[in-house]
Every structure is written in structure tokens, then in C-alpha cells.
């Protein structure tokens, strides 16, 4: 028996074997995809729980601060209020300085742009004079 005869006699079992292997590969791919999706879902749930715990922790901290401020003396409350006002003033000053700096930077950019345009205009006029003579 030659190899071709053996192959032709066994073509059907070989075909079925290849089909079974392809089906098994597809099933494995589906299972792996489901597992990955499940892992992503579990990870998202864990992150959500972690965020909730962080929020609860912050809320408890704020409640403790509120309770602590209730037991403060008037002098201590006034000191804290003064510090809070100073912080607000400093914040406003910082914002004002940032705004001023931003405006100055924009003015510098516009000035630089204007200077470049003026220089280019002079070059264009000079080139026009050289090409066309005295025209303005």
C-alpha cells in the first residue's frame, strides 16, 4: 500500500480529527474569554468597594473633625476661623497673581508675534522695492 492509498482510506478520520481539534480550540477560546471577563468584573467590583470604603473613611474623618470642633473653646474657634480666612485671602491672591502672570505671558506672546510680523512686513516691502521700484 502506498502513502496515497493510506491517506485516501484515512481521509475521513483525519478530517474528523481536525474538526474536533478546531472545535476544542474554539471552546477553549470561549472559556478563556469568559474567565477574563469575569476577572475584569471582579476587579471592577473590588475597585468600587475600595472607593466606597475610602469615601466612608473620609466621611468618618469629617464627622470626627466636626465633633472635635464642637468641644473647642471660643478662642480656639476664633483662631481656626482666622487661619481659614487667611487661607482664603492667600488663595485669592494666588489666583490673582496667576491671572496676572497669564495675561502678561499672553501680552508677551502677542508682542513677540507682532514684532515678527513687523519684521516680515519690512522684508516684504524691501523685496517689493527691489522688484518693482518705489511703490507703497
Residues in the chain: 136
Measured torsion, CA atoms of residues 52, 56, 57, 62, in degrees rounded to the nearest 10:
140
Check if the beta carbon of residue 106 is closer than 8 Å to that of residue 99: no
Residues whose CB is less than 8 angstroms from the CB of residue 125 and which lie 6 or more positions away in sequence, other chains included: 136
Check if the beta carbon of residue 47 is closer than 8 Å to that of residue 54: no
CA angle at 136 for the pair 123 and 115, rounded to the nearest 5°: 35
pLDDT > 70 fraction of the chain, expressed in percent and rounded: 96
CA angle at 45 for the pair 42 and 50, rounded to the nearest 5°: 125
Which pLDDT tens digit goes with each residue over 54-83?
999 999 988 887 776 667 788 888 888 899
The residue extents of the domains of the chain are 1-71, 79-136
Greater confidence (64 vs 131) lies with 131
- Whether 2 shows a pLDDT value over 80: the answer reads no
pLDDT > 90 fraction of the chain, expressed in percent and rounded: 68
Residues whose CB is less than 8 angstroms from the CB of residue 136 and which lie 6 or more positions away in sequence, other chains included: 125
Please report the pLDDT score of residue 135 as a whole number. 58
Please report the pLDDT score of residue 116 as a whole number. 94
Taking the mean position of all CA atoms in its chain, how far away is CA 66? 34
Please report the pLDDT score of residue 65 as a whole number. 77
Mean pLDDT score of the chain: 89
Amino acid at each position: 500500500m502506498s502513502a496515497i492509498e493510506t491517506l485516501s482510506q484515512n481521509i475521513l478520520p483525519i478530517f474528523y480529527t481536525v474538526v474536533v481539534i478546531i472545535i476544542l480550540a474554539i471552546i477553549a477560546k470561549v472559556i478563556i474569554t469568559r474567565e477574563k471577563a469575569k476577572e475584569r468584573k471582579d476587579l471592577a467590583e473590588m475597585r468600587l468597594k475600595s472607593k466606597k470604603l475610602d469615601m466612608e473613611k473620609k466621611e468618618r474623618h469629617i464627622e470626627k473633625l466636626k465633633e472635635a470642633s464642637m468641644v473647642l473653646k471660643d478662642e480656639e474657634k476664633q483662631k481656626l476661623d482666622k487661619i481659614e480666612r487667611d487661607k482664603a485671602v492667600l488663595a485669592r491672591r494666588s489666583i490673582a497673581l496667576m491671572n496676572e502672570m497669564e495675561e502678561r505671558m499672553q501680552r508677551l506672546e502677542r508682542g513677540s508675534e507682532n514684532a515678527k510680523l513687523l519684521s516680515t512686513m519690512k522684508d516684504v516691502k524691501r523685496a517689493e522695492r527691489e522688484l518693482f521700484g518705489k511703490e507703497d
